[in-house]
Structure 1
Amino acid sequence: MFVAALLDFLIGDPKNLPHPVQSMGVVISFLKGLAEKIGKENKSRLFIGGLIITFIVVSLSGISGWIIERLFLFFEIKNPILSTLFFCFILSSSLATRSLNKSILEILNSIRKENYRDNLNNIRQKLSLIVGRDVENLDTNEILRASAETASENSVDGIFAPLFWMFIGTIFWEFNQSMPGPLAMAWIFKASSTIDSMLGYKEGKLKWIGFTGAKLDDLMVWIPSRIVLITLPFCCKTNTSILKTISNSWKEGIVDSSPNSGISEAIFAYCAEVRMGGVNYYKGVKVIKPIVAMSYPIASIDSVKRILNLSLRLQIVWIIVFTLIIKFINL
């Protein structure tokens, strides 16, 4: 996991190489078209179609990862160094540390420029690539708030959740290497996450097609988000005690409509000392998100950077702890 995380941080996702999520997206789009064509306006058929889509995409992703793991275990005996590096490179595709940092920092660096107001539309366009809300009318403060919130939520979805499932896959290997390992489990999670991002909208046909995928993604992020809630305060320095920080974050985050994103945003808000929540628009529809960490200032360039730094610190802590647990199991 350490090598995979390091490769993701240093290299990220090379643009010239195909990414597993792209393949998942192609399959999801094809199956979605079939489900809509067959289901038409029938809610039960659309729900069953979404259930089948989730089963097929998650199964194919897990089996693909499992096959690559079998190849790695076979070639590891002949060339351990090269095969390990190659396997870790593929494994790193499940993490989003570099891509998340790069996207957020590009927005922050653009805002730092003296003439940034002249390029506000360009900044909004960059923001639209990483958030689901409408960005056309966002001012600088709202752009920074959106950046802080997506940095918090995507740290859990794109870094800590896949890390957790890699760890679970590694534990499986400690008992039986024929079981799904870190890559298979990471790709199973990425499949559920991709289905949720493409189909998990509570409107029209997608309300029924994307239901199963959205619930599976919620389930797979449920434990990692709560581990982040408990562990992130150990990586920050605030005037509030660790227990108080966790308690406040839980109380304010759990009221969010999402079982995971509210908690993720709340704990980062308290640890980075930045207020989050407020009015958002999604396809023109007004949504009021609960305010968290009300006593702290609104988002700034520095507070968004603190979120990214906290995420990196916690990632290092997780990898160290996971490695120690695996070493202990081997004793």
Structure 2
Amino acid sequence: MTLPFSGVDSFTGIHPFLLVIAAASLDRLVGDPRWCLHPVVVMGWWINRLRRLAERLAGERPWALRLAGAVITVLLVGSSGAAGWLLEQWALGKVLPDTRPIALTLLLLALASALAGRSLEQAVRAVLRALPSPESAQSEALSASRTALSWIVGRDTRELSSPEIVRAAAETASENAVDGLFAPLFWMLLGALIWAVGYQAAPGPLALAWGFKAASTLDSMLGYRQGLLRWLGTAGARLDDLLVWLPCRLVALTLPLAAGLGPQRSWALLQSARRDGAPDPSPNAGLSQAIYAHVLQIQLGGTNRYGDQCKRKPLLAAGCSPPTATTVQAMLRLSQRLELLWLVVGLGLGWVVATVAGTQ
């Protein structure tokens, strides 16, 4: 494989951003092949084992579980970031320079693995494709759609009707667009900027992206407010909230622009989304769903069942039409446009950095 940036001696100026663009393009092209071991799977393997060890040592003591959760968080996020940094230093030629082409290829693949643009689209579209059509068997199609949905949401899907399935697909597409795509992309672009200005010994795109993915995986596996996880998962959940906070707000700010709306209208939608999303227990999920709801003019939120519990989520863009399969598809296309916008802005930033460096 010959990479467009493989001939550069130093990743400064525009080159780190070209690397991120190549990774995003690879993610859109191939997604996450099932035959390939994914870094998140490795993270999950370690989380399960560390969790069992922590629960055995801490018992049911809240303070001990909180401490154990903090230790797990530091170990997993720190080791994930360090692994990314070591691969970056190899790709930069600081280690085993004769094997740098191999390292560059692995770096590109690792960066693409941190993005979930294509895999999220595939999962959501699988739910939509399984929805009942006029000529299909309603019960069989509903069962298939519920099963596909259960792979990507935490709510109970066994009794959901077709409109409820579509709403769940829309809500997970909007929330996970931030968690799975734009938040890691933000940290990649920040790492690219650090490299672009010449700090190549510092953590770069992969180190920051893998550190974020570790926190996100911790939150998805331990961030439940029940049982021992009320204390054990606190540190990972709080760190994930912190790392998603800024990317989520940048999505809320730029999504209306990606939809072709003017600055005044975009600002008004942002304020509406902030108001609607504020009652959500998550500092980020409510806002991310709300901005998609307002831009597409669909109502999200309502009652969800989790096991034997029903939770009522705040209504977002109340009074608008409920989502349809067509509007969910539009949501996925809008995420594609926003990703392109972010990459173009990143490339422009790299050009500015390269220009300024060239005039000094």
TM-score per shorter chain, which class? over 0.9
CA contact (8 A) 1:253 1:266 kept: yes
Shift of 1:226: 0.2
Counterpart residue number, 1:193: 216
Of 255, 264, 284 in structure 1, the residue corresponding to residue 279 of structure 2 is: 255
CA contact (8 A) 1:110 1:116 kept: no
Q: Aligned equivalents of 2:280 and 2:189: distance in 1?
A: 28
Counterpart residue number, 1:35: 54
Q: Aligned equivalents of 1:282 and 1:76: distance in 2?
A: 51
Shift of 1:116: 5.1
Of 182, 188, 191 in structure 2, the residue corresponding to residue 166 of structure 1 is: 188
CA contact (8 A) 1:237 1:271 kept: no
CA contact (8 A) 1:50 1:208 kept: yes
Counterpart residue number, 1:290: 314
Gaps of 5+ in 1: none
What is the root-mean-square deviation of aligned Cα atoms in Å?
1.8
Name the SS for the 1:18 alignment partner. Answer: coil
* Aligned residue pairs, count: 331
Shift of 1:80: 7.4
Shift of 1:83: 5.0
2:173 aligned with 1:151: yes
Q: Aligned equivalents of 2:77 and 2:265: distance in 1?
A: 41
Q: Aligned equivalents of 1:61 and 1:80: distance in 2?
A: 21
Counterpart residue number, 1:314: 338
CA contact (8 A) 2:244 2:284 kept: yes
Name the SS for the 1:204 alignment partner. Answer: coil
CA contact (8 A) 1:252 1:266 kept: yes
Of 119, 135, 138 in structure 2, the residue corresponding to residue 99 of structure 1 is: 119
Q: Aligned equivalents of 1:162 and 1:78: distance in 2?
A: 30
Alignment of structure 1 residues 196-207 onto 2, 5 Å: 196-207=219-230
Moved more, 174-183 or 258-267: 174-183
Q: Aligned equivalents of 2:338 and 2:194: distance in 1?
A: 24
Moved more, 240-249 or 10-19: 240-249
Q: Aligned equivalents of 2:210 and 2:137: distance in 1?
A: 39
Q: Aligned equivalents of 2:194 and 2:308: distance in 1?
A: 46
**Change beyond 3 A, Cα 1:116–1:94:** farther
**Change beyond 3 A, Cα 1:34–1:80:** closer
Residues 60-92 of structure 1 deviation map (CA, whole Å, 9 limit, x = unaligned) = 100110111111111897687765444222210
Shift of 1:159: 0.4
Residues 293-317 of structure 1 deviation map (CA, whole Å, 9 limit, x = unaligned) = 1131101001101110110000000
Q: Aligned AA for 2:113?
A: S
Residues 170-206 of structure 1 deviation map (CA, whole Å, 9 limit, x = unaligned) = 1222331111010000000000000000000001100
Considering Cα pairs closer than 8 Å and 6+ residues apart, tell me whether 1 or 2 has the greater RCO.
2
Shift of 1:13: 1.0
Higher Rg of the two aligned structures: 2
Q: Identity of counterpart residues, as a percentage? A: 40
Of 139, 148, 151 in structure 2, the residue corresponding to residue 129 of structure 1 is: 151
**Change beyond 3 A, Cα 1:83–1:32:** closer
Name the SS for the 1:52 alignment partner. Answer: helix
Alignment of structure 1 residues 61-140 onto 2, 5 Å: 61-74=80-93, 84-111=104-131, 113=133, 114-115=135-136, 117-119=138-140, 120-140=142-162
Residues 10-65 of structure 1 deviation map (CA, whole Å, 9 limit, x = unaligned) = 11111111100011001100000011001111111111010010010001100110
Shift of 1:254: 1.8
Q: Aligned AA for 1:104?
A: V
Give the alignment's TM-score, normalised by structure 1.
0.96
CA contact (8 A) 2:90 2:100 kept: no
Residues 254-301 of structure 1 deviation map (CA, whole Å, 9 limit, x = unaligned) = 221110000000000111221100001112211110001113110100
Q: Aligned equivalents of 2:229 and 2:304: distance in 1?
A: 21
Counterpart residue number, 1:236: 259
Counterpart residue number, 2:66: 47
Moved more, 83-92 or 61-70: 83-92
**Change beyond 3 A, Cα 1:18–1:79:** same
Counterpart residue number, 1:278: 302
